[in-house]
Structure formats: C-alpha cells, structure tokens
Amino acid sequence: MALAGDAGGRCEVFAWHAGTRRARQVTDRPHGTLHCAIDADAAIWWFDEDRDGRGGWRYQHFHGGPHLPGLTGVPPGTPRGLSRADDGTVAVGLGGPDGLNVHLGHRGRPGHRVLRVPGPAVLAGFSPGGDLLAVTEHAAGPRAVTVHAAAGGRVGEPVARLSGRHGRLWALGFAARQAGAPAELLLVREEADRYVLAGWRPGSGLREYRWCAFDTEISARWYPDGRRVLIRQDRRGRSTLSVADLDRRTLDPVPVAPGSLLDAAPRPGGEVHYLWTDSATPPRLGSTAGTPLPTVGAPEGRVPGRHTQLWTDGPDGPVHTLLSLPGPPVHRPPLVFLVHGGPADHDRDAYDPMVHSLVASGFAVARVNYRGSTGYGPRWRSAYREGVGLTQVADLAAVRADLLRRGLARADAIGLWGTSWGAYLALLALGTRPDLWQAGVAVKPVADCAAAYHAGTPALRALDEALFGGPPEQVPAAYARSSPIRYASRVRAPLLVVAGARDEKCPPGQVRDYLAALTAAGVWHEALWLDTGHDGYLGGEHMTVLRRAMAFLDRALRGPRRTASHAPGADRPGEGGGRATAARRDRPHGPDGTTGVPGGADETTERG
C-alpha cells in the first residue's frame, strides 16, 4: 500500500507492508508530497513538484532504493493523470500552458509525447492492453470523454467522442483485462435528478446501467476482477459504499459506520480498504475484513463538544448545516461560519482541524452546504437563483437567522471564515450584508471576479464561463454584481485577508486591488502575505494561518468591538513565511486512471 501521511508536520508518502505491518517513509521533501500511487510491480510513484505545483512523476521500488524519474526527458507540468498498461507502458498526463500533454514510455525510460489536448483536460485511463487511451474534458461539453486508439507507442485518431451536452459525463478508468472481452471504460452520467453508472466498449459504444442510479454524486472504482464496481456516494454530508455486480445486475451495501469516507479502494478477494472519519473523530484507515492497517498521523481521541445538524427552509429546498457546539454547554457562544470552497464541493460529517480548534476555544461552528454544493443532487448543485455568490450568501444569512431564532447564537458575535471560493463568499457576505457579521477571515480569496478570470488558469476561466454564462466581455454586469470589490467600501466588520504571492487560482493582483479599496474606504483590516501558491502540504503552513485567524477572531468576537468607522486600514505584508493552504482534499491520480469524479474538486475544475 502507498499512502500520504504526516511526517513531522509535513505530508509525505509512505509504503505499508501488510505482511510485516510496518510503514516506511518514501519521500522527504522540504515542502511535502501528496500525490502518490503504487503500480502492479509494487513500485511507489510520487509527484515531485516545486512551490508552483509543477514537476514530474518519480518512483522508488517498494523496499527502497534510489528515487528515479518515472519517464525521462519529459518537461515539467501539473499532475493530470497516471495510468499503466499490462505490458508496463506508462501513460503520464501533465498540464501546461498549452493544455494537457500525454506522454508514453516504460518506467525509468525515455517518454515521448503522443497527444496534446488544449484546455483543462485530464488523462482518465489507459486500457490494460495498451490499445485505448481516454481523456476527459468539460463534463458538460461536446467532448466530455474522448477515447483514442493506441498502438506501437503511438496514439491515433479518436475512436469515440462522448458528449456531455445531454447530461454531464465523467470517465473513471478502464477495467482489468478480461479473457476474450474488449476493454470497458467506467463512466458516470448525470441525468435530470440522478447519477447513473455507465460503461463504454469498442464496437458496442456507451451503455448505461440504469438499475444502478443514485440521487446524489458518486465516485466509483473497478474491483480487480473487472466486473464489479465499488461505488462511494456522498449524500447529505455523509458517505455510503455499495458494490455493483454488472453481470448479475445487483447492488449491495458495504457496511460502514455513519460518517464520511475520504477514500475507498477494493482489494483482491473482495476486501475494501477505506479512510473513515466523522466530525468528532480524526481520519483512520479501516478494512471490511478487519485487516490491520497503519495509522495516518491524525490526532488521537475525539473532538471536544457536541456535533449535530439542522435544516433551514429555503426557496430551493432546506439548507443543511453541520453544527458543532463547545462543551460543557455554553449559552449562545460566539459563532463562526466556516464556509467551504469549491464551489462544487460540500462540508462533510468529517474531522476538520479548524472545527477542532474553534470548538476547543469556546466557539460554535456552522458549516453550511449552501446551494451549489455537492451531495444534494443535480438540482441543488445548479441552483443559483439569486446569481453567482449572492445565492450562497443568501443561504448563509438564512442559516444565521435560523440559529438566532433557535437561541444558539448571539447577533453581536458572529464571524465568517472561508478559504478559496469560501473566502470569496466571506468577502461577498461582508460587503453585501454588512450588518450581519462582526468579523471575517478570507484565506486566498477571489475578490474581483473579472480580474481573477483574466489572470487565472484556462481551467478556471472555463469554470467562470460556465457559472456566469460567458467571459466578462460578454456579461460584464454579472461579474461586477458578484464581485466583492464592488462592495468593499460597505464592509463594517474587522477583516483578515491571507493571500499567496504565487497563487494561480486566486491571483495576488486582484487581492491587492481589494486591499487598496478597503484602505481607501477606511475599512479596518489586516493582511497576511505568504510566499506560496494556492495549495500546500506542510503542517506549519496550516498552523501559520490557524494561529493568526484564531487570535483575530478571538479579539473581534470576544474583545472590544472594532468597526470601519473607528479605525484606519491596516496592511501587514510579508508577515510569516509559510505557505497558507486551502481546505480542499486533493485526490491523487492513481495508476488505474481514476480522476475527476463527479462531485470532486480537482485542480482542473475548482478553485478549492
């Protein structure tokens, strides 16, 4: 087994030997390592990236030895897929300014580029026979999934172009080789109100398994036998597991405790290994067969306080909130809305170190799965009745009012804390509804939607065009109406803004413009600039932001009140030296080609 875990405050890759029940640290990089995989020869693969997120795959034999290039002579890029055929040919997908570049070669030997796809595409799989290669693009576009023929180390013309125009479509990898049967590509199709498992084979085309449908987002993986599929469903903040037998047309549940499954993988013989957590319990590895598995470096014990949930009436259906209250019971403690990013993501009944820290410090925490969140079905995910951002702010305001009606919060001690798209919502809420909040923390935000569009990556420009209905030149009013910078002068609550000087997803220029607008308006604020990109794998980076934000919220929500009319703007660039990190959970790209699952937030489609 290869896994990423804690190594003295850094995220690093480990190899776990089931026979000896011992773990060995594989990587030791100054800024940590996250993406990893293990191939059929038990070689451990990991992505060696620089501080800007670009690099290449390297590998090491399971029992140790030198770290070697996965493919030599391949230019650096961002990780966009890794897959391997049965003959040892490796397909590597790397992102660059010109889009996706796919390289083929044998492990440790020269690689050569065989395919270039413009825009935010991802390598979704390489068939066991090495004769088919699948690429995903925009899930709702005319080329959601393209399958190319491959032979002799070359990739030919497409043999299938599968459209997502009549229902978004995701590719999740090829099945293991079956004697006498063509390769099958696993797919998920979104229909009006459900997600349906599907498969594609050469000669017979796309086939939907309509008996295997779910009302909320799913991800799926082939079992080693190639005819069963392990399905993980995200539903209302929790996860379930099921096994679909494609030949027998059966769907059977896999028993797991209530909570969230951050990952799950089928093993030979039917066993499933999974990473489980809930709001009160840090993540831990488990096995359906009871196989002992390593610890993942998470804190021991349970999170203090009481963890519950509530539902608030809304125009498109009830809004779900995960609520954590300090213990022993405190009458109407100060409340922090911890706003998730994405936008296509959701808060889970899962351990969150920020929730842990806040509750242990006497704060209540509300995590709202506003409209646009995953885990509540296609209609909820596409509900933007009041416009981009403003719809989500309306849900935050509705939950705030509900908590006050229930006597669970005080109107004069409520703050917002968000990262990435969650930070964008925090800034937008502070400016559009300034009387509702007494503090705000925005970590790596979008502050000017049009400026972020022009300075961002092609993948994020595609996301913005889908959200707003086109680029800023076509719909300028929509971008302006949803931009926090438009409302900067209306902010009244003390505000902490954390930004990364190397951030490509939420570019620094538009954050500087927002801070300048706050200063011009006399809004009291602090700014923390860090030499970082958008994501990071160092515990120290998280702690830099966590300590600063906790102290800030403590002063703002429990100390003397401070508003824009009582203090000048304050800007403190250069303070701190770590990389602030987004609260997103990146998924590694494994050798089975499993990437870009519906409801996931991968680097090609979300800010995090």
CATH number at residue 441: 3.40.50.1820
12, two tokens? 């690093």
- Classify each residue of 215-248 as buried b or exposed e, where b means 16 or more C-beta atoms within 10 Å of its C-beta: ebbbbbbbbeebbbbbbbbbbebbbbbbbbebee
Query: Tens digit of pLDDT for each residue in 293-324?
Result: 887 666 777 788 999 999 999 999 999 999 99
Cα-Cα-Cα-Cα dihedral sign, residues 420, 422, 428, 434: negative
Q: Which domain-ending residue is among 39, 69, 99?
A: 69
Domain boundary, last residue among 539, 558, 577: 558
pLDDT given for residue 177 in this prediction: 86
- Chain centroid offset of residue 70 CA: 25
Question: 426-439, pLDDT tens digit by residue?
Answer: 999 999 999 999 99
Contacts with 482 (C-beta within 8 Å, 6 or more apart), sequence order: 387, 388, 389, 390, 428, 449, 468
Does 399 reside within a domain?
yes
- Which pair of tokens denotes residue 319? 């809004």
pLDDT tens-digit series, residues 465-491:
999 999 999 999 999 999 999 999 999
Q: How many CB atoms are located within 10 Å of the residue 254 CB?
A: 18
In a domain, 381, yes or no: yes
- pLDDT range class, residue 538, cuts 50, 70, 90: low
Residue 187 domain flag:
no
Residue 549 belongs to some domain of the structure: yes
Which DSSP category does 409 fall into?
S
Q: Tell me, yes or no, whether 504 lies in a domain.
A: yes
Q: What CA–CA distance (Å, rounded) separates 391 from 394?
A: 5
Model pLDDT, residue 600:
37
Of 18, 41, 69, which one is at a domain's C-terminal end? 69
Cα separation, 440 vs 503, in Å, equals 21
Q: Identify whether the C-beta of residue 78 lies closer than 8 Å to the C-beta of residue 118.
A: no
Instruction: Please report whether residue 392 resides in a domain.
Output: yes
| Total structural domains within the chain | 2
88 sits in the region (left: phi over 0; alpha: psi -120 to 50; else beta) called: left
Residue 271 lies in a domain: no
Tell me, what's the pLDDT at 48? Answer: 95
Element at 188 (helix H, strand E): strand 185-190
Mean pLDDT for all residues in the chain: 89
Residue 477 lies in a domain: yes
Q: Which helix (H) or strand (E) holds 256?
A: none
Q: Check residue 526 and give its pLDDT.
A: 96
Question: Which pLDDT does position 496 carry in this prediction?
Answer: 98
In the prediction, which pLDDT does 531 show? 84
> What is the domain extent for residue 59?
1-69
Torsion of CA 345, 347, 350, 355, to 10 degrees: 130
> What's 485's DSSP letter?
G
pLDDT (average), residues 318-344:
93
Give me 282's structure tokens.
């840090």
Tens of pLDDT, residue by residue over 540-598, are 777 889 999 999 999 999 976 544 433 333 333 333 333 232 333 222 333 333 333 34
pLDDT at residue 408 greater than cutoff 90:
yes
Q: Per residue in 21-79, pLDDT tens?
A: 888 999 998 888 889 999 989 999 999 998 888 999 999 999 999 999 999 999 999 99
3-state secondary structure of 547: helix
Give the DSSP per-residue string, 3-36.
EEEEETTEEEEEEEETTTTEEEE----TT----E
**Strand 525-530 to strand 495-500: parallel, antiparallel, or no bridges (unpaired)?**
parallel
